[in-house]
Each structure stands twice: as C-alpha cells, then as structure tokens.
Amino acid sequence: MKINDRVLFKGYSRNPPGHQPLLSPGDACVVEMIDGETAVRVRRIPDLPSRTVREWVFVDEVMAADQSRPNGKPHPDVRRILKMMACKNTKTFTDLRDRVAYMFVTGAHPTNMRPFFTGALNILSTRTDKSGRFGPYLIDDSAIYSLDVMNHPFVVETRCLLSEGWRLVVALGPNLRRPFGNLYFARAQHRLTLNSEGWTKPGWPQDWPRRSARRTT
C-alpha cells in the first residue's frame, strides 16, 4: 500500500468509547499518509468537495479497490457487500449476519447457498491453517465488529451449550447439507438443533417425523 492508492473501507475492527465513526463500510477512499505497517490516514472520496472526510484507520480495515479475485471462487461486487454491513435493521443485513455468524462458529462454509453469499463469505474471511475453529476460515475483525457477530444468537447460545458439555457437530454426514440456519450439537446419546434465532429443538432433522405428502385430486 502506498500514497494515493485507492482503497475500500471494510469497517472498523474496534472502536474506542466515545469515538464518533466518520466512515462506513464500503466507502471509497484515497490513502494520504502511512504510519509504519499498522495505520493509514485515508480521505473519503466525497460526493461534494465540501464534505471531505479524513480518518486514521488500521491497515486491516481497508482493502485495495482493485483487489484481485481468487481463481475459482465466486466474488460479487465487493463494495456492495461492504455496504450491506452498514445497513442495520434491514433484511439484507440480517441475511449476511446469519451466514457470517455460521462461519464464525464453524470455520466452514455452509452448503446450498446462493453464489452471491458464497462470494460474500469469501470476501469477509481468510483461510488459515490455524483458525481455532472446526474449519479453516476466520472471519475478518471488521466484519465481526460491523455485523455485531459476538451478540448473534449462534455465538451466544453456542458458548452456553459448549460450557454445558455439548459438542458441535458441523456435518451430519458426508452427503448431507450444512444449512446456514442451523447448528447441530451432541452430548452422550442426546442431540440438539440450534437455529439462527437462538431457538433449540431436541434431535436432528433426520430424527424428526416427516410430514406425509398431501394427495391431490
């Protein structure tokens, strides 16, 4: 990263009490100053010259505007994804937050998602050999902060269940789906399903009685 590079603001990864945020996720900016390897001062590219905004941010809170896309991975418009994180109290914010919270807990991609959200998780995560999770993916700090992931029911309830001796089961079988709306747990002979709203239900989907198909005439 160098002076005059164009970057996108990913979101604050942390914010001291009393600090008034000046930038929103997805803001296009220009790098004006660089402080070692940790911080940069950026200028938001304004709609009007009178609205010039400057802010010091951490290096990991911005990304190159022309960041290349990894081969073989779907990537939707990066700025659109980042802007979704700033739209609290909307369905798009909730949809993204649920999927990010699933990956935060499991470290893995859910299955059977639309390519748009698969690409969003690729943007907001990093693959690592030491994720500390059950899978190899770590959610970026800026996404955790902007989406308030630490207070998502998946995260809150999973911590409670793990402290009570339940074990997270990421995959129920080699050919079974991993829906982003459910997490599965086991303890001895007992099974439990947790949904994204924080409700629990005894058993796993294959344990529940199936509804009989209606006969049409």
Indicate the pairing of strand 6-9 with strand 54-58: unpaired
For 145-188, write each residue's pLDDT tens digit.
999 999 999 999 999 999 999 999 888 877 778 888 999 999 99
The pLDDT score that the predictor gives to residue 49 is: 64
3-state secondary structure 127-149: ECCCCCCCCCEEECHHHHHHCCH
Considering all CA atoms of the chain, what is the largest pairwise distance in Å, rounded to the nearest integer? 74
Look up residue 52 and give its amino acid.
T
Question: What pLDDT sits at residue 18?
Answer: 78
Cβ neighbour number for residue 91 with a 10 Å cutoff: 8
CATH 2.30.30 maps onto the chain at 6-64
The predicted model gives 39-60 an average pLDDT of 85
Place of tokens 């690592």: 128
Tracing tokens 């779907």 back to the chain, one arrives at: 74
Q: How far apart are CA 51 and CA 24, in angstroms?
A: 14
Tens digits of residue pLDDT in 72-88: 455 578 888 899 998 88
Average pLDDT over all residues of the chain? 85
Angle between helices 91-106 and 153-163 (to 10 degrees): 30
CATH architecture type of domain 6-64: Roll (2.30)
Q: Is the pLDDT of residue 216 over 50?
A: no
Helix (H, G, I), strand (E, B) or coil at 173: coil
Report phi then psi at 65, rounded to 5.
-65, -25
